[in-house]
Structure 1
Amino acid sequence: MLFAFICKDKPDHLQLRLDVRPDHLAFLAALNAEGKLKFAGPFLDDEGKSCGTLMMVEAADRAAAEAIAASDPYAKAGLFASVEITAWNWVINNPAST
């Protein structure tokens, strides 16, 4: 099952994001190697600066998705003001369905 992680950064935490980014990218690379990461990228504010994260992961169930989200170095560092985890059905332009 696919889950969208919609994560919003705490205000004025861009430097923390930049500091933790290498660990976050390594985390994403590991998820990708396991076949769990479908796509990911930052949300941008009006100035083009990162202010959150959108990740789509495959997990067995909500508990597994929550465990993945909690393992993100950004989450561990306290970057996020909020994290929403929502099950998602990839209908249009899903490369797995072609």
Structure 2
Amino acid sequence: MLYAIMCEDVDDSLPLRQAARPAHLSRIQHLVDEGRLLAAGPHPALDTEEPGAAGFTGSLIIADFDSLEAAQAWADSDPYMAAGVFRQVIVKPYKRVLP
């Protein structure tokens, strides 16, 4: 089943993100390689794809997991969590309707 992992950043998270980004992206790539990733990306702090020093306010990952518990465990072990990027992470079942 699909699960949405909705993450909210701490204030001024950009340096933390930059330091942990390679490990975070490597982990996301495993979902891609396994055909389990529907979508993933950050929420820019400004209304632009490249917010520069303003950074990001959070992230969204939608991926296939065996259970809510498995999705939560995956989210809890993300490198961004260990680096202190996220203030809050919410994991919920997601039902794709369109497209």
TM bin (shorter chain)? 0.7 to 0.9
Q: Could you give the per-residue CA deviations for residues 17-73 of structure 1, whole angstroms, max 9, x where no partner exists?
A: 011111111111012112222110000112622221100011111111111111211
- The separation in 2 between residues aligned to 1:17 and 1:56, in whole angstroms, is 19
TM-score by length of 1: 0.87
Q: Which amino acid aligns with 1:50?
A: F
1:16 is matched with 16
Q: Does 1:83 align with 2:98?
A: no
Q: Does 1:92 align with 2:95?
A: no
2:70 is matched with 64
Gap regions ≥5 residues in structure 1? 94-98
TM-score by length of 2: 0.87
Q: Which amino acid aligns with 1:51?
A: T
- The farther-off stretch of 65-74 and 43-52 is 43-52
Contact 1:7 1:80 in 2 (8 A): yes
- The separation in 2 between residues aligned to 1:19 and 1:2, in whole angstroms, is 29
| Residue correspondences, number | 93
2:38 is matched with 38
Contact 2:41 2:59 in 1 (8 A): yes
